[in-house]
Structure formats: C-alpha cells, structure tokens
C-alpha cells in the first residue's frame, strides 16, 4: 500500500524542523517571530532587513509594477515560450540587470554586448519552454554608476527624478539608514519578491515553478531572494563570490574579502557588515549556512563558477555549495547531485548561454520532470 500524502508531508515537515535546528529555518519572507538565529545573524550583520513585505501601495499595470502610485516603477520585459497559456502555464526564469534604465537600452559597446548575450539567453530558454523576465534594478534601487550619475546631477542642479533612490526613498533606508537597514542587495532581492507577486497574478506563468538567477552582484541577490522568499523554487548563483556563494573563512588570497567589498560597495550591505572587515575568518556563520537556509522539500540550489575567476573564488564557491547540500541531506533528501547542482566553466567571470544551458538541464529534471 502506498504511503498517504498527508503522512509524507508530516514526515517532511518534521525532517525540515530537524534540519532547521542544524541550518536555520526554511525560507519565506523574513518576519521576526519565526526567524532562525542563522537567518537573523545574516540579516543583522550582512544584508539588512527589509522594512516592509508586500506593500499596500503596490499596484500592477500591464507589465509594470508601481509603488506609491507610480513614484517608483519596475518595467518588466517578458520573453514567452511558444504555446504558454492559462491552460498550460510555463515555468519562469527571473533575472535582473542594470542596462535598461530610463526605459531604453543604451547603445554603448558594453550595453550592446550585454544585449547580445541577453537575447541569446532568452532564445535558449524560451526554445526550451521557459519564460524569461528581465528588469532594470537601477529603477528600483540604484547601483554605483547610477548613484554617481545622480550625485553629479544633484551637484549640477539638474532636475532630479521624484525618488532618485527608488524604494529606499519610499520605504526608508537611505537618509535614515541604521546599522541593520537593508542594503541594496536586500532591496534588489525584495524587488524580486515583488516581481514574484506580479508573476502570481499572470495566468500563463506558473508561479509554482519560478527560478531566480543572477550573475555576480546579482548572484548574491538571487541567493538573498532565495533565502528570504520560499516561493522561489530554484535559486541559481553564478560567480557571486564574496557576499554570495564564496566561503569567507576559506583563505583564498586572490579573491575579494570583506574589507575590499565593504569599502568599494558599502551600500550593497547593511552597515554592520563593515564591522567584519579584516575578520573574514571570524564570522560565526559562513555562506554555506546562508545557502543552506534555502533547503526544503521541492526547493533547489544551483551554483556555478569560472575557473579563472579568482576574484570570486571558485574553490570557495564549490566548497560552500557542497557544504550547503548537507542541509538537504539532513532533510533526508539528496543534496549534491540531487537538490544541489554545481558546475565550473573554463574561463573568466562570466554568465553565458553555455552556463544557462547547463542550468536548464538541471531545471528540466527538477521542475519539468524530464
């Protein structure tokens, strides 16, 4: 006789609780009452806390998400596979970028190269039955070049956008920043959650099969979104390095350390992260434990590196993925090679269509039962 589903579910929940004791509670947007100590440490010390969950002043208009009546907007670009419909909703890949702010793709060489890669990724994914969603994170929470541009505009007395710092200007964290206020990575991850809210309202998109992914700073962001929002079923970090998938405690002299990242990109993290500069080996929790927080039945982690990407520390990313996989093992689920995947492409710091192909091979089995 087969085991009833309710019994299987009860067993999985009990196993998840056991793993929680080892690795911290499973995802879901953070809320004080049921947050594990591990997760609290990371939000207090590294990424900061989001001041709101789904805000009451958010609305949707077509492919645009509006905050505070449109003071801040997120414009989504959606590439759909053939045949997706409300009767046959398709799985989704959610990616952010920084190239389309001001509602237009720039035409400089770097942006054109980015566009070529993005189009290749979209074609590859849609041909395999996945929708791809892109949007410009600068609109929601500006990254460094956009921040510099805004500073210059302010200095020159130019007309400023209503909310130059995006969601920080609406929900707080810019001028009233505290030691644990959200940094930009947490804010971007929060935006991914708002896009997830939008996905849930789209009948042709399958909100139960959404993968969040990103490269480099957006790999750090994908992990943050995966830990803080359990609706993301698959989380893919590509070359995320320090503050992402790389272990801080592993001595890798060629890779970025906490002092370097907090001095160049202080606003990516909460202020408390500065206190760990020069103390990488002393952090009480490491990035494998951060990624282990994603572990739950039906949730998957994928990590990829570049063999020549010494700044991101491929050895540290691989070791962290292997260690994080133990959170799934503790649930009685297969970790490495099962719920957790890893590959290292030969070459530098990059995410290209080859990486996406390998990642989709992983997703096909887990999300599409292929």
Q: Which residues are catalytic?
A: 216, 349
Please report, for residues 44, 93, 228, the alpha-carbon distance to residue 121 in angstroms, rounded to integers and kept in the order given.
Answer: 35, 10, 26
Q: Binder to ligand GTR among 229, 256, 309, 355 (CB under 6 A)?
A: 256
Burial of 120 (0-12, 13-18, 19+ CB in 10 A): middle
Comparing CB distances to ligand GTR, the nearer of 99 and 217 is 217
Q: Is 252 in the site for ligand GTR (CB under 6 A)?
A: no
Q: Binder to ligand GTR among 242, 252, 340, 360 (CB under 6 A)?
A: 242
Using CB under 6 A as the binding criterion, the count of chain residues that bind ligand GTR stands at 6
Comparing CB distances to ligand GTR, the nearer of 271 and 349 is 349
The length of the chain, given as a count of residues? 370
Comparing CB distances to ligand GTR, the nearer of 206 and 256 is 256
Comparing CB distances to ligand GTR, the nearer of 242 and 331 is 242
Q: How far is the CB of 61 from ligand GTR (least distance, A)?
A: 31
Q: Binder to ligand GTR among 25, 76, 224, 261 (CB under 6 A)?
A: 261
Q: Is 241 in the site for ligand GTR (CB under 6 A)?
A: yes
What the block records as the tokens of 119 is: 């189009």
Q: Is 185 in the site for ligand GTR (CB under 6 A)?
A: no
Q: How far is the CB of 312 from ligand GTR (least distance, A)?
A: 7
Any long-range contacts for 318-324 (C-beta under 8 Å, 24+ apart)?
Answer: 318/342, 318/344, 319/247, 319/250, 319/288, 320/245, 320/246, 320/247, 320/286, 320/287, 320/288, 320/291, 321/245, 321/288, 321/291, 323/247, 323/288, 323/292, 324/288, 324/289, 324/291, 324/292, 324/294, 324/295
Give which of 234, 245, 240, 239 is closest to 125, Cα–Cα.
234
Q: Binder to ligand GTR among 181, 202, 216, 257 (CB under 6 A)?
A: 216
The CB-side HSE value for 84 (13 A sphere, CA atoms) comes to: 21
**Rounded distance, CA 159 to CA 17, Å?**
53
Q: Is 214 in the site for ligand GTR (CB under 6 A)?
A: no
Comparing CB distances to ligand GTR, the nearer of 100 and 221 is 221
Q: What x/- string results for residues 113 through 132 when contact with ligand GTR is judged by CB under 6 A? A: --------------------
Q: How far is the CB of 117 from ligand GTR (least distance, A)?
A: 14
Comparing CB distances to ligand GTR, the nearer of 126 and 248 is 248
**Rounded distance, CA 130 to CA 149, Å?**
35
99 close to 219: Cβ distance less than 8 angstroms:
no
Please report, for residues 119, 132, 163, the alpha-carbon distance to residue 80 in angstroms, rounded to integers and kept in the order given.
Answer: 12, 7, 31
Q: Binder to ligand GTR among 39, 49, 207, 217 (CB under 6 A)?
A: 217
Q: How far is the CB of 45 from ligand GTR (least distance, A)?
A: 17
171 close to 53: Cβ distance less than 8 angstroms:
no
Q: How far is the CB of 67 from ligand GTR (least distance, A)?
A: 25
Q: Is 49 in the site for ligand GTR (CB under 6 A)?
A: no
Chain contacts with ligand GTR (rule: CB under 6 A): 216-217, 241-242, 256, 261
């Amino acid at each position: 006789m087969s085991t009833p589903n309710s019994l299987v579910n009860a067993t999985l929940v009990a196993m998840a609780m056991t793993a929680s004791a080892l690795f911290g509670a499973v995802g879901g947007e953070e809320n004080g009452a049921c947050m594990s100590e591990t997760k609290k440490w990371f939000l207090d010390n590294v990424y900061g806390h989001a001041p709101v969950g789904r805000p009451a002043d958010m609305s949707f208009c077509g492919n645009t998400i509006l905050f505070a009546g449109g003071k801040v907007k997120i414009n989504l670009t959606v590439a759909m596979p053939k045949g997706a419909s409300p009767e046959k909703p398709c799985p989704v890949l959610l990616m952010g970028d920084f190239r389309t702010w001001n509602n237009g793709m720039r035409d400089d060489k770097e942006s054109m190269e980015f566009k070529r890669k993005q189009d290749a990724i979209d074609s590859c994914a849609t041909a395999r039955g996945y929708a791809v969603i892109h949007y410009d994170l600068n609109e929601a929470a500006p990254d460094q070049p956009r921040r510099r541009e805004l500073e210059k505009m302010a200095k020159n007395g130019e007309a400023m956008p209503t909310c130059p710092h995006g969601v920080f200007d609406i929900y707080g964290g810019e001028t009233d920043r505290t030691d644990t206020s959200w940094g930009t990575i947490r804010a971007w991850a929060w935006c991914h959650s708002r896009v997830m809210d939008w996905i849930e309202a789209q009948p042709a998109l399958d909100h139960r099969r959404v993968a969040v992914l990103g490269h480099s700073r957006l790999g750090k962001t994908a992990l943050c979104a995966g830990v803080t929002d359990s609706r993301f079923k698959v989380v893919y970090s590509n070359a995320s390095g320090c503050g992402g998938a790389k272990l801080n405690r592993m001595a890798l002299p060629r890779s970025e350390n906490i002092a370097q990242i907090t001095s160049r990109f202080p606003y990516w993290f909460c202020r408390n992260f500065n206190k760990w500069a020069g103390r990488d080996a002393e952090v009480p929790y490491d990035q494998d434990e951060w990624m282990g927080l994603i572990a739950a039945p039906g949730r998957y982690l994928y990590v990829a590196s570049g063999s020549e990407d010494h700044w991101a520390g491929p050895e540290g990313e691989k070791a962290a993925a292997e260690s994080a996989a133990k959170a799934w093992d503790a649930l009685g689920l297969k970790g490495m090679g099962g719920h957790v995947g890893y590959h290292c492409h030969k070459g530098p710091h990059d995410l290209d269509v080859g990486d996406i192909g390998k990642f989709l091979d992983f997703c096909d089995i887990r999300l599409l039962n292929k």
